[in-house]
Amino acid sequence: MAKLSPSSRVIHALDVDSLEKGLEIVEKVSPYVDGIKVSYTLLYQHGISSFEAICENTSLPVIADLKLADIPAIVKRLSEKVLEAGVDGVIVHGFCGRDVVEACIEEAEKRGAMVFVVAELSNPGAVEYMKGMGERIARMALEAGAYGVIAPATRPDSIARIRRVVGEEMVIISPGVGVQGAEVGDAILAGADYEVVGRLIYQAPDPAEAAKKIAEAIRKKASS
Amino acid sequence: MAKLSPSSRVIHALDVDSLEKGLEIVEKVSPYVDGIKVSYTLLYQHGISSFEAICENTSLPVIADLKLADIPAIVKRLSEKVLEAGVDGVIVHGFCGRDVVEACIEEAEKRGAMVFVVAELSNPGAVEYMKGMGERIARMALEAGAYGVIAPATRPDSIARIRRVVGEEMVIISPGVGVQGAEVGDAILAGADYEVVGRLIYQAPDPAEAAKKIAEAIRKKASS
């Protein structure tokens, strides 16, 4: 199982529907990103075999962003399925409780795969019911043995607070860059390890060039 | 679009992996249940075309239990996809905020489909971070124009409190019956409109007979 290793500090969110297009983009951007995040868009269209195809066509770690948010028995079953497809990491929601996170970790550990726990979503509504929960969830994820947490690039203060909770023991990945409003590099400055970038890359006329530029912008900002 | 109409008060959670088996069970249980809930198990294996196949093979309302829990742009896109497949209802998590629920409702309204908002999950861990949130989420779902909410059969007191919030304007459906611990009929007694039953039916040697008996048990309990 491939683990994340920081170089460009960019994870590409491959939220495309077409597997053909997905494979094309993966081939182009792989030299410039540290990981590929696959999601429901591919799964809806092609089922789990699309994740298999992506995994077979890149040496980068592939993270299945299913944002699992169900009871433990279902999360265990779905985690097993997706890990069987060969992905290196799975994303589970923390708000569902420790039993759900543990069900996911149990399956991942059998295969040495990574589990990322969503501590806080990046949309404005995410703080309506979950205000202040991010740190509590991050602490639980740490104790449960997760590999990383997900914190919103749209709220750098949340990233900084979550970093204080998890120390250097956990990886923080941050979506919300670009179309959602966060500037490239801001999440890294606030303490994240990787920025998750989707539309800025897969909607660009030249995805490889876009990924390269984003990685450069992050490098510049991080060293300034 | 078919809407739920109470007769047996049972919705079958068709959490099987095989579409062939799924279609077989749907044919057998359709006379004894009020709706079919399809989920990720089918989607992982076969993609969205499996939902199309189920919809084409039953006149009952089909609810896609994707427990959507992402940012509005993604939830909008996934809702659109799954509604295009012909399902009559979609399930979205409420904890993600009103913007996420509204994104789902916006897509559903275009097709006259139902949106169900998860107010509270049925697992023990669900109250770790979300204690007391169920009623707030139910109120938001009502204001946003959702068709129904989901409340846990494993916590009848939560169902009763949520019923007080939503009055008779919304449908309450309750998973957690059977293997998860709630007794058949208890959620209905507490104020739910439908009980969601999965394994007790699809794992039974005779799923039709199992569905029939559950419906009878509910009828008996509700009239006692």
Per-residue pLDDT for B178 more than 90? no
Give the model's pLDDT for residue A103: 98
Nearest residue in chain A measured CA to CA from B130:
A95
Partner A contacted by B18 (CB < 8 A): no
Mind listing the pLDDT tens digit for each residue in A175-189?
989 878 899 999 999
CB nearest B44 (choices: A41, A48, A180): A48
Q: Is residue B18 over pLDDT 90?
A: yes
- Bridge partners for B150 per DSSP: B118, B173
Half-sphere exposure of B81 (CA within 13 A, CB side): 22
Q: Name residues 78-107 of chain A within 8 A of B (Cβ).
A: 78, 81-82, 93-100
B214 within some domain: no
Residue spans of beta strands (DSSP E) within B119-212: 148-150, 171-174, 194-197
The pLDDT of residue B132 is 85
Q: What is the pLDDT of residue A51?
A: 98
| Tokens representing residue A106 in the block | 């149990």
| A105 located within any domain | yes
The amino acid that residue A57 corresponds to is N
Q: Which residues of B touch A41 (CB under 8 A)?
A: 77-78, 81
Catalytic residues of B: 67
DSSP state of B176: -
Number of structural domains, chain A?
A: 1
Q: Return the residue in A96, A100, A150 with the most chain B beta carbons within 10 A, the one to mutate for interface testing.
A: A96
Query: Quick one: pLDDT at residue B149?
Result: 98
Q: What pTM was computed for the model? A: 0.96
The DSSP result for B56-87, as a single string, is HT-SS-EEEEEEE-S-HHHHHHHHHHHHHTT-
Q: Please check whether residue A219 lies inside any domain of the structure.
A: no
Whether A131 is in a domain gets the answer: yes
| Within-domain flag for B221 | no
B15-26 average pLDDT score: 97
Taking an 8 Å cut-off on Cβ atoms, the answer to whether B97 and A126 are in contact is yes
Across the interface, which of A48, A97, A128 has its CB nearest the CB of B126? A97
- pLDDT at residue B181 in the model: 86
Contacts of A64 in chain B (CB under 8 A): none
Identity of the residue in B44, B71, B130 whose CB atom sits nearest the CB atom of A43:
B44
Is the CB of residue A129 less than 8 Å from the CB of residue B97? yes
More reliable by pLDDT, B180 or B59: B59
Q: Which residues of A are catalytic?
A: 67
DSSP A224: -
Flag whether residue A144 sits within 8 Å of chain B, measured between CB atoms: no
pLDDT band at A81 (very low <50, low <70, confident <90, very high): very high
The helix (H) or strand (E) run that includes residue A148 is: strand A148-150
- Residue B75 pLDDT greater than 90, yes or no: yes
Question: Which residues of B are less than 8 Å from A93 in CB distance?
Answer: 69
**A33 vs chain B: nearest CA distance in angstroms?**
22
Residue found by looking up tokens 């896109």 in the block: B77
- Alpha-carbon distance of B126 to B173, in angstroms, equals 17
Write out the residue range of the structural domain in which residue B37 sits. Answer: 10-206
What Rg, from alpha-carbon coordinates, does chain B have? Answer: 16
Average pLDDT over residues A101-125: 96
Res. B131 pLDDT band, cuts 50 70 90 = confident
Choose among A72, A77, A180: nearest Cβ to B41.
A77
- Give the pLDDT mean for B3-17: 96
Residue B1 included in any domain = no
Nearest to B95 among A44, A129, A180 (CB): A129
Could you tell me which residues come within 8 angstroms of residue B168 by beta carbon, excluding any fewer than 6 positions away? Answer: none
Mean pLDDT across the stretch B37-58?
Answer: 96
Does residue A58 form part of some domain? Answer: yes
pLDDT at A92: 98
Residue of A121, A143, A150 to mutate, testing the B interface (most B Cβ within 10 Å of its Cβ): A121
Cα–Cα distance, A182 to B97 (Å, whole number): 19
Give the integer Cα–Cα distance in Å for B106 and B195.
26
CATH of the domain at B64: 3.20.20.70
Position B83 in a domain = yes
Confidence of residue A131 (pLDDT cuts 50, 70, 90): confident
What is the number of CB-based contacts under 8 A between chain A and chain B? Answer: 126
Contacts for A41 with CB less than 8 Å, ≥ 6 apart: A15, A16, A17, B77, B78, B81
| Cβ contacts of A80 on chain B, cutoff 8 Å | none
Residue of B17, B39, B71 to mutate for A, most A C-beta atoms under 10 A: B71
pLDDT at A180: 80
Tell me: the pLDDT tens digits for A200-219?
999 999 999 999 999 999 99
Residue of chain B whose alpha carbon sits nearest to that of A135: B129
